[in-house]
Amino acid sequence: MTLLIASVSAGTGDELRTRVGQAFSAGADVAELRLDAIESLDDDLVQWAAGLPAGKWIATCRPASEGGASTHSARQRALMLVAIAEGAQGLIDFEFAHWRRSARTRARLADAVGTKPGAPTDSRLILSHHDFTGRPDDPRGILRMIAAEEGVIPKLAWMPESICDNFEALDLVRSSPGPVIVICMGEAGLPSRVLAPKVGAFATYCAPSEDITTAPGQATLAQMTDLYRWRRIGTDTRLFGVIGWPVAHSMSPLLHNAAFDRAGVDGVYLPLPIEPRDRVLEDFLDGCLANDWLDAAGFSVTVPHKSRVVAYLGDRVDELAGRIGAVNTLVVSDGGYRGYNTDYCGALDALTAGLGCERNDLRGTAIDLLGAGGAARAVVAGLREYGCDVTLSNIIPQDAATLAEEFGCNVRAWGERDHGTGSILVNCTSVGMRPVPDETPFPADALGRYEAVFDVVYNPMRTRLLGDAARAGCRVISGVEMFVNQAAEQFRLWTGREPDKGLMRDLVVRGLRKAGE
């Protein structure tokens, strides 16, 4: 069983004891006692450690070169670990580089962690190597050297060049003949942490809370157990995620992991930060297929990769997604990918639900649409597919003209947008989105002519445009509905099941309110 270790740092013994207790109460399997900021051990702290549950704690004291804060020498740090480990039943973690330099240090540490009754493993000594500059030249060789030391657990952590480093990190664990810990640090290293139980790692690390982190990229204990459902991850768990840059703000992991849980799907959905440089996107997608033990099953795609994915897929793109020129959903099938666009589905379903009609009932409906960017392309494609008469207005006239010519729409100058003759107004611009929610793309005194107003912006839920429209007596349709609908369609494509849209909507609303709605 892979252990979930909460790394607990503190400046005083009392603070350390309190935080360790909180970590255990929150569900950590093991607490890592980071002694970096503690000047010296007192008898109370040593006695307290001796009373901790057997095998449920690890003591370490990291120097700055290994990501810690200790200013002590290697000998002084080793003596601190010996003092807290002797007579106790925990593990200690010491840097491999310093272990190799001193036979006396090796002897003292090995003696301090001689196997004790109740320990969960034959070894109670972790020898670690951290590289904050990037991937070591020979990760497998480093693990082999550490493992050659009798009765130890090797640990290797490095700062990845890209998200693709996770393939190697996870495979190193998967192919190891004994217990091992391998982690990619930073935001891009999240898969190596979350998927640790899938490949049989000895342990993985997390932060006890958002304000207590001991390494870059650590997820919190609550995120691991609640958001990513870490304890349910096993060898057969399928990998999903959202590809984008940046992507940490995405609400999609919250929606899809909860939907998987509700439907009983053995899957985990992760944020996958992929920089728009070199071949990182292509290498990641290729790597997921090449490493079939990952069980990659599908991905969401967001800015700035929606168009680039179309080029990557070639003829494996759904027809309408190809016309839109953007893919936001990848499905793994028959050893490859198939690309779809669910943004237009989300928009159509939001619009028809708000109007109380079916898609085919939209035929002939006159719609005034603001914008000509990526969101506009998807919405226009869907509306034209179902026979709507669309008139475009955009602040850059040429963009509107190009989009109109491609999909057979009319054009109205941006300065004359309030002279529209449609029955429905759709905003596909970003005007009114946080962090400037007080702006609106349309004059309030001209809204009364519309039956309904649909704003694809979902943060905030009630934009200024929708507020003005409601006061003018229009039906209002929030971008939240489009966001939930497109996610629901992704869920169907990946699983063949119907998601709990009510659950998804509730999570989005709660998330937006928490963020300041």
Residues tagged active-site = 130, 155, 306, 343
In terms of Cα–Cα distance, which of 57, 3, 18 is closest to 209? 18
* CA–CA dist 499, 497 (Å, integer): 6
Distances (CA, A) of 485 to 88, 132, 228, 351, 499: 55, 41, 22, 11, 10
* CA–CA dist 298, 242 (Å, integer): 9
Sheet holding 452-455, edge to edge: 410-411, 389-393, 366-370, 424-427, 452-455, 475-477
Which two structure tokens, joined as six digits, stand for 53? 């549950």
Cβ-proximal residues to 484 (8 Å cutoff; 6+ apart), any chain: 255, 346, 501, 504, 505, 508
* CA–CA dist 211, 22 (Å, integer): 13
Q: What's the alpha-carbon Rg for the chain, to the nearest Å? A: 27
Residue with tokens 């304000």: 211
Q: Determine the 3-state secondary structure of 104 from DSSP.
A: helix
- H-assigned helices in 365-500: 374-385, 397-407, 464-471, 479-495
* CA–CA dist 130, 159 (Å, integer): 9
* CA–CA dist 149, 118 (Å, integer): 23
Element (H, E) at 268: strand 267-273
Which two structure tokens, joined as six digits, stand for 198? 């899938």
Query: Crossing angle of helices 43-50/74-85, nearest 10°?
Result: 50
